[in-house]
Structure 1
Amino acid sequence: MAALCFNNEICHRGYYSQTTKMKGKQGWKAIAFFFVVMFCFGMCWFLHMEYYMQRSYPSVHKICIPGDAASKAEILISNYSRDHPVFLQLSDYFWVKNQSIYRLPYGTNGSEELLMKFLALTNRYHVPEEIKRLPCRRCVVVGNGHHLKNSSLGETINKYDVVIRLNNAPVHKYEKDVGSKTTMRLFYPESADFDPQLDNNPDTLLVLVPFKQLDIQWMKIILNNEKRVRKGFWKMPPIIWEVEPENIRILNPYYMAVTATQILKSKKMTPKPTTGMLAITFALHFCDTVHIAGFGYPALTNKKQPIHYYEKVTLKSMAVSGHNITLEAQAIKSLLQQRIISNLTYF
């Protein structure tokens, strides 16, 4: 019995020993499996973030290739040309061959006399020499979208050769997210309610985008300090606006026509492009590298999210704007997918 008991004890010990070994092996397998899963998860997360960062934050210091944007834009825009003047010039209206077949905002037909009077005041029609002589122009078009809020993109934006801003988007107090450098600001009278001193640099070009003759008239009145016109605007523009005439330019309406017909593919040039969409088209003709930031609206079902980084206005305000933001979103996505432009924020 003793021997039997001894043998049973041995059997029990063997059983527990084998069981413990099995449990130990299973435990190590579980731990190994856990670490494999965590490693895979970590790698997937890293690759996802690397992909996101590459798409969202293209390097400003990436080699700039002269003519790169032009070679890409030529595929998209038929009859693409950089021969058109960037800004309207007084000499354009002394020759019949330069007359436009379109009226504002797509041409200057019918506005020649007014433009001659206005352009004689400014006596500035060209791109500054420090920009013109750049061997390769790296440009960023800074939109006004809510995506810029808390983006901390200010330092990145300031590193571009040309920073193009839109309408009344403020810089003062938002420098961390949007930067402080402004090479050009595209605007129209109703969007001129920004501080020319606080929200621009001393050498910033204030580029008027004329949608109607009254827009040119307003600018002429401001520079000449003439009697103000209060009717004809959908929103009252500034009555007092302290700017230097040498900083004012008028964007060639050619870019508006190209935006409508070539980028948005709209028939009969309706609806009118936004200033942001126009700025992208302009950059494709003026720059060698084109990046954008702060573009994109909330989903049409999102009625509460602000559309701008600096105010609480929602999509409701766009209902009567006359712009087709859905069509423009599709156009920008196409430009991004074809890698004609790159994005600093998500779209």
Structure 2
Amino acid sequence: MNKGKCNHQLDGGREDGPVDPQPLETLSPLLASQGRTVTGGSRDESSGPRLMPALAIKMINKSRGKILGVLALFLVMVWYSIYREDSFYFPMQENKTVCPVGEVERKAAQLIGNYTRDHPLFLQLKDYFWVKTPSLYELPYGTKGSEDVLLRLLSVTSYSLPESIQSLKCRRCAVVGNGHRLRNSSMGETINTYDVVIRLNNAPVHGYEQDVGSKTTMRLFYPESAHFNPRTENNPDTLLVLVPFKPMDFQWMEAILNDKKRVRKGFWKQPPLIWDANPEQVRILNPYYMEVTAAKLLNLPMKQPRKVKQKPTTGLLAITLALHFCDLVHIAGFGYPDSANKKQTIHYYEQITLKSMAASEHNVSHEAVAIKRMLELGLVKNLTYF
């Protein structure tokens, strides 16, 4: 009976009743084998709980290398995930680091005969004041016959590029057309990443920022296409570049800037009679670039019969301009609907169709061929389908 009670106590870990006294020498070897100690004729019941922290510390020490390895792997995975997110967040960043200097000039020379960058972008007062430079053609391909009004107009405007553009080591340019292809394109953020953004005529920005962006470095226009309030659709430092098609365009601009009697006749559409623009931001485009666009890209004669005159669009002219001072030229929003599609709108901001172009002096199919040639040469890159 005493033996049974003793075994029950050792196996179960607790006492169920009195135990017959036994010699210490008899119990000590058995208790020691179970991880217990006996002193002074009694056993230490707290030795079991104290054993658990010691075992845990021993296990941690043995696994320390594995734990550190797992932690290091976790940190590497987190870093890689963040790096991947950052690398995709700036899709145009690669163009900032690699500048194809000289590539545009080399490829443009294959398309434009006698290509040169020696001509100024904008007309300058000195050419009509100190030395009267003769011009071979009348507007829109020259200034012959308009020297006097130009002298007055250029005295209140300027001709320089902003220092922020002039000092760029690489001029990355986006020419934004007004085509329907920009609608729902979500190209706005991409367009805003370019150093120079060129826009056309009265195409709006507000309300369309997601598709067309909000940055405008230059806006090319003529009187009939001028927005009545240029401050609403442009940045404060936007260059407002007049594209002169006829002598009346100079007279309209002079009357506006000098607050003279407004010119009302000689326009196919009434231009704004009030045009709130800062004269310091106004530039007059050098007609040389209209000549290059017409003669070299569209093979148009400089002197045409009055009834069959054809002129380049402002869009193709803007691309030509970019090819003469940019290191990289990308275009967006160019191209017209198929001629058989009578209902498709041609602009991203209004509902007019290709029918409205029937009476214009533009040959859009001819211009499409010129742009496709640029794309084939890699001279320009298209950000929207063409």
Confirm or deny: 8 A CA contact 1:293 1:345 kept in the other structure.
Answer: yes
Question: 1:67 and 2:114 equivalent?
Answer: no
Confirm or deny: 8 A CA contact 1:58 1:343 kept in the other structure.
Answer: no
Moved more, 238-247 or 190-199: 190-199
The number of aligned residues is: 290
Unpaired stretches in structure 2, ≥5 consecutive residues? 1-91, 304-308
For 2:116 and 2:232, locate their aligned partners in 1 and report how far apart those are by CA, in whole Å: 36
Any idea what the Cα deviations from partners look like across 1:136-186, whole Å, max 9, x if unmatched? 100010000000000000000000000000001000111000000000000
Q: Which residue of 1 aligns with 2:318?
A: 279
Shift of 1:70: 1.2
Confirm or deny: 8 A CA contact 2:141 2:302 kept in the other structure.
Answer: no
Question: 1:76 and 2:115 equivalent?
Answer: no
- Amino acid corresponding to residue 234 of structure 1 in structure 2: W
Q: Which has the higher contact order (CA 8 A, sep 6+)?
A: 1
Aligned counterparts, 1:189-204, within 5 A: 189-193=223-227, 195-204=229-238
**Secondary structure of the equivalent of 1:141?**
strand
Any idea what the Cα deviations from partners look like across 1:17-56, whole Å, max 9, x if unmatched? xxxxxxxxxxxxxxxxxxxxxxxxxxxxxxxxxxxxxxxx
Larger radius of gyration: 2
For 2:93 and 2:343, locate their aligned partners in 1 and report how far apart those are by CA, in whole Å: 30
Shift of 1:76: 1.2
Moved more, 65-74 or 318-327: 65-74
Q: Which residue of 2 aligns with 1:337?
A: 376
Q: Which residue of 2 aligns with 1:38?
A: none
Confirm or deny: 8 A CA contact 1:68 1:288 kept in the other structure.
Answer: yes
Q: Which residue of 2 aligns with 1:48?
A: none
Q: Which residue of 2 aligns with 1:157?
A: 191
Q: Which residue of 2 aligns with 1:9?
A: none
For 1:212 and 1:97, locate their aligned partners in 2 and report how far apart those are by CA, in whole Å: 20
Confirm or deny: 8 A CA contact 2:294 2:300 kept in the other structure.
Answer: yes
- Amino acid corresponding to residue 343 of structure 1 in structure 2: N
Pick the aligned partner of 1:132 from 149, 161, 166: 166
Q: CA RMSD in A?
A: 1.5
Shift of 1:197: 1.6
- Amino acid corresponding to residue 119 of structure 1 in structure 2: L
Pick the aligned partner of 2:289 from 251, 255, 258: 255
Question: 1:302 and 2:337 equivalent?
Answer: no
Q: Which residue of 2 aligns with 1:241?
A: 275
For 1:229 and 1:94, locate their aligned partners in 2 and report how far apart those are by CA, in whole Å: 25
For 1:328 and 1:71, locate their aligned partners in 2 and report how far apart those are by CA, in whole Å: 22
Q: TM-score, normalised by structure 1?
A: 0.81
For 1:213 and 1:152, locate their aligned partners in 2 and report how far apart those are by CA, in whole Å: 40
Confirm or deny: 8 A CA contact 1:60 1:159 kept in the other structure.
Answer: no
Any idea what the Cα deviations from partners look like across 1:78-115, whole Å, max 9, x if unmatched? 11111111100000113657321111010011111110
- Amino acid corresponding to residue 243 of structure 2 in structure 1: V
For 1:313 and 1:68, locate their aligned partners in 2 and report how far apart those are by CA, in whole Å: 38
Confirm or deny: 8 A CA contact 1:93 1:99 kept in the other structure.
Answer: no
From the superposition, tell whether residues 245 and 335 of structure 1 become closer, same or farther in structure 2 (CA, over 3 Å): same
- Amino acid corresponding to residue 337 of structure 1 in structure 2: E
**Secondary structure of the equivalent of 1:267?**
coil
For 1:150 and 1:335, locate their aligned partners in 2 and report how far apart those are by CA, in whole Å: 25
For 1:142 and 1:195, locate their aligned partners in 2 and report how far apart those are by CA, in whole Å: 20
For 1:285 and 1:264, locate their aligned partners in 2 and report how far apart those are by CA, in whole Å: 17
Confirm or deny: 8 A CA contact 2:223 2:271 kept in the other structure.
Answer: yes
Aligned counterparts, 1:1-347, within 5 A: 60-61=95-96, 63-94=98-129, 98-122=133-157, 124-193=158-227, 195-268=229-302, 270-347=309-386
- Amino acid corresponding to residue 169 of structure 1 in structure 2: A
- Amino acid corresponding to residue 369 of structure 2 in structure 1: Q
- Amino acid corresponding to residue 215 of structure 1 in structure 2: D
Q: Which residue of 2 aligns with 1:45?
A: none
For 1:146 and 1:58, locate their aligned partners in 2 and report how far apart those are by CA, in whole Å: 27
- Amino acid corresponding to residue 330 of structure 2 in structure 1: H
Shift of 1:338: 1.0
**Secondary structure of the equivalent of 1:241?**
coil
From the superposition, tell whether residues 190 and 162 of structure 1 become closer, same or farther in structure 2 (CA, over 3 Å): same
Shift of 1:77: 1.1
Give identity over the alignment, percent.
Answer: 66
**Secondary structure of the equivalent of 1:292?**
strand
Confirm or deny: 8 A CA contact 1:88 1:250 kept in the other structure.
Answer: yes
For 2:244 and 2:151, locate their aligned partners in 1 and report how far apart those are by CA, in whole Å: 14
For 2:311 and 2:272, locate their aligned partners in 1 and report how far apart those are by CA, in whole Å: 23
- Amino acid corresponding to residue 100 of structure 1 in structure 2: S
Shift of 1:64: 1.5
From the superposition, tell whether residues 325 and 67 of structure 1 become closer, same or farther in structure 2 (CA, over 3 Å): same
- Amino acid corresponding to residue 225 of structure 2 in structure 1: S
Moved more, 247-256 or 188-197: 188-197
